[in-house]
Amino acid sequence: MNAHVATAWNGQSDADGSASEALPGPVLALRPLRWLIRLRWLLIAAGFAALAIERQLGAAPTRPSEVAWALTLLAIVNVGWWCVQLDLRRRSVIDAPARSRAMLMFAHAQIALDLVVLTILLRFTGGVESPLAIFYVFHTALGALLLPPGHALVPGVFAIALYAGVSIGELSGALAPRYPLRVWRPEAELHVRSAYVVMALGSVALGILGTLYLTGTVASRLRRREGQLQRANAALRQSQEIVRELQSRRSRFMQTAAHRLKSPLATIQTMASLIRDELVGGADARATCDRIARCCAEGIEHVGELLTLARVQDADPRRHRVTRADVGAVVNEQCGRFQSMAVARGLRLTGKVSAGSRHLAGVDRRDLADCVGNLIDNALKYTPAGGQIAVWIESATDVSDDDQEWTVVHVDDTGMGFDEEVLAEANGTGAFIFDAYRRGNNALAAGIPGSGLGLAIVQAVVEQVGGRIDVTSARGRGTHVALTLPAIGSGSPGRSIAAPPRAIHADPMRAGGAPWPALPSDQGDEKSRMPPGGDAEPRHAGN
C-alpha cells in the first residue's frame, strides 16, 4: 500500500520557523501531529485541574484514583510521542516512503491511545451518560483530517466499538461499580435502561460516521484544491525561472551587442589617433585610412544583421503559416547574388536546382533568403581559394510522422570547418554554434571578419517554422549544413505548426576520414522516401 499522511496544512510556516513550502510532503505532515501532541497537553492539564477543583469544592471523594492514573499515563505517553516526532523529523528525507509509513503508524497510534484513555475517563465519569462521549466525534474528525480517506475509518470504528463496550458493559453490569459524572449528586440510572443505551450508542455511532463522511469530504476537496494550488505554484515558479533566464540572456546579448557595436568605433578612433599623432605616414597612413573605411563597412554590416535578427525574432511566427516560399527560386537567387564574390575569391559556387522542379516550403520568403544567404556567406568566408561550395535541395518524407513532407536545403563547403570542441559543446550542453556572437577560434585566428549573428538568424527562422538544422563538420575538411523545412504540396495550404520543436543538431564528422555526402547530380533534387531511423531521415527535434 502506498501509504501517506495527508498534508493538510502545507504552505504554513513550520514550528521551527523554516518555510514549510520548501520542505517535502512527509515533513509537512509532522506539523499537525505535533499540534495534536500540544493539544493533548492542554487536555491533560484541564483534566488534572478538573480533578483538583472537584476536591477543593469538597465533593465526596468517590472518584477513583484510576482517573488520575489514566491522565498521568497519557502525560507519560505524550512525552514519548514528542520524542517519536523528533526522531521522525531527523530521519532522512531520502527514505521518504519508509518515513511516510512511520508517520502513518504514528498518527494511528496516537489516535488509538487517545480513544483508549478517553474510554477509561468515560468509564469513571458517568459512562454512557457522560457528555465526554463528544470527544469520540472530535477524534474521528481529527482522524479524517490527518489520515488518508481509507485509514480515517479505522479510528471511527474503533471509537464506536469502545463506546459500545462501555455501554453494554454498564448495561449488563460487567463494569461495576459505576461512577457518575457528578459524584456528589447521584443521577438517574439511565445506563441500565436498554432503550437509552441503544439511543445513546446509535447517536454516538451516527455522529461518528456522519463526522467521518462530512470531514472526509471537505478534507478531500481541500486536498484536491491544495494539489491544484501546488501545481499552479510550481508552474508559476517555472515561468518565473524562464522569464529570469530570458532576462539574463537578453542582458548578456545587449552587453555583447553593445561591445560589438562599440568595437569598430573604438578601432576607428584608435587608428585615427595614429594619423593625428603622426605615428603613421605616407603609404601607412593611406593603409590606415583603408582600415578605417573597412571598419565602417563592417560596423554597417553588423548593424544590418542585428536589425535582421531583431526583425526575425520579433515578427509574428504565424507569418510562416500563411505564406509559402519557392525554395528553388530562393536558392538560385542567393547563388546568383554571391556568384561574383565566389569568383573573386577563387571559389566554385554551384547551385544545383533542376529547372522545372518546384519545392514549396511554409516559410517567409524573405526569412528563407536571409537563411540561405547567411549560410552561403559563411561558406564563402570560411573556404580557402580553390574550394567548392555546393547548394542543393531535396524532398523527404518522414514516414514516422504521418508522411510529413519536408524540403531540405543543403549547403556544403570544403572550408576550414568548425573546431571539434565547439561541436562537442553543441552536442553536449547546447548548440552554442548558433548562439549570437559565437565565433570559432579558427575563424578568429584566420582573421575572418564576421558579426557572429548569421547562424543565430538561421536558427531563429528554422525554430519558428518547426524545422531543424543538421550540421556536420570536420576541422580543415569542410562543413555541411542541412536546413529541413516543412514542405507544402502544390496548391495545398500552409501547414499549421502547434509548437516548434528545438531544431538543432550538430555532429562532428566521423573520425577516420568519412567522405562528404556526395554532391548531387543535376537530378539530385528528386524526391526520396526515407525509412524511419535511417541516416538520411529528417529527424524531428527531440529525437
Partner 1 sequence: MKKDAYHILLIEDDPDMHHAIRAMLPVREFELTSCSTGPAGLEAMRRDPPDLVLLDIMLATPSEGFHLCYQIKASESLCHVPIVMISAIGKRIGMDYAAELGSEYVPADAFLEKPFDARALLGAIRKLLPLRTP
Cα–Cα dist 144/218, whole Å: 9
The Cβ-side half-sphere exposure at 226, using a 13 Å CA radius, reads 15
Q: Does 95 bind partner 1 (CB under 8 A)?
A: no
Instruction: Return the residues of window 337-356 that contact partner 1 according to CB under 8 A.
Output: none
Strands 360-361 and 325-326, how do they pair? antiparallel
The letter for the amino acid at 535 is D
- Tell whether residue 288 is a contact of partner 1 (CB under 8 A): yes
If the CB atoms of residues 240 and 255 are measured against partner 1, the closer one turns out to be: 255
Q: Which is nearer to partner 1, 109 or 285 (CB)?
A: 285
Residue 282 interacts with partner 1 (CB under 8 A)?
no
Which of 89-92's residues contact partners 24+ apart within 8 Å by CB, and which partners?
89/27, 89/30
237/262 with CB nearer partner 1: 262
Q: How many CB atoms lie within 10 A of CB 527?
A: 12
Output the CA–CA distances (angstroms, integers) from residue 345 to 13, 158, 370, 381, 385, in the order listed. Answer: 71, 93, 21, 9, 6
Q: Which of 58, 177, 447, 491 binds partner 1 (CB under 8 A)?
A: 447
By CB under 8 A, tell whether 439 contacts partner 1: yes
Q: Which residues are CB-contacts of 82 (< 8 A; sequence separation ≥ 6)?
A: 37
Residue choice 444, 514, 519, 536 for contact with partner 1 (CB under 8 A)? 444
Q: Does 100 bind partner 1 (CB under 8 A)?
A: no
Residue 297 binding partner 1, by CB under 8 A:
no
| Stretch in the footprint of partner 1 (CB under 8 A) among 188-196, 278-286, 304-312, 465-473 | 278-286
Q: Does 112 bind partner 1 (CB under 8 A)?
A: no
Asked if residue 240 binds partner 1 (CB under 8 A), the reply is no
Binding flag, residue 60, partner 1 (CB under 8 A): no
Least CB distance to partner 1 at residue 472 (A): 21
Residue 420 interacts with partner 1 (CB under 8 A): yes or no = no
* Smallest distance from partner 1 to CB 374, Å: 19
Rounded-to-5 percentages of helix, strand, coil across the chain: 60, 10, 30
Cα 221 to Cα 146, 147, 149, 227, 526, distances in angstroms: 14, 14, 12, 10, 61
Q: Which of residues 245-274 bind partner 1 (CB under 8 A)?
A: 252, 255-256, 258-259, 262-263, 265-271, 273-274
Q: Which residue(s) pair with 325 in the sheet?
A: 361
Q: CB-wise, 256 or 404, nearer to partner 1?
A: 256
Buried b (16+ CB within 10 A) or exposed e, 317-345: beebbebbbbbbbbbbebbeebeeebeeb
**Selected range binding partner 1 among 95-103, 201-209, 214-222, 435-443, rule: CB under 8 A:** 435-443
| CA distances from residue 408 to 377, 470, 542 in whole angstroms, order as listed | 18, 10, 18
The stretch near partner 1 (CB under 8 A) out of 76-84, 168-176, 398-406, 441-449 is: 441-449
Cell of 478: 569542410
Q: Does 515 contact partner 1 by CB under 8 A?
A: no
Among 50, 77, 112, 280, binds partner 1 (CB under 8 A): 280
Identify which of residues 51 and 274 has a Cβ nearer to partner 1 in the complex. Answer: 274
| Nearest distance from C-beta of residue 502 to partner 1, angstroms | 22
Distances (CA, A) of 433 to 123, 299, 305, 353, 468: 81, 22, 17, 28, 14
437 binds partner 1 (CB under 8 A): yes
* Chain mean position to CA 110: 38
> If binding is defined by CB under 8 A, does position 528 make contact with partner 1?
no
CB 348, CB 516: distance < 8 Å:
no
Contact footprint for partner 1 (CB under 8 A): 252, 255-256, 258-259, 262-263, 265-271, 273-274, 276-277, 279-280, 284, 288, 291, 294-295, 437-441, 444-445, 447
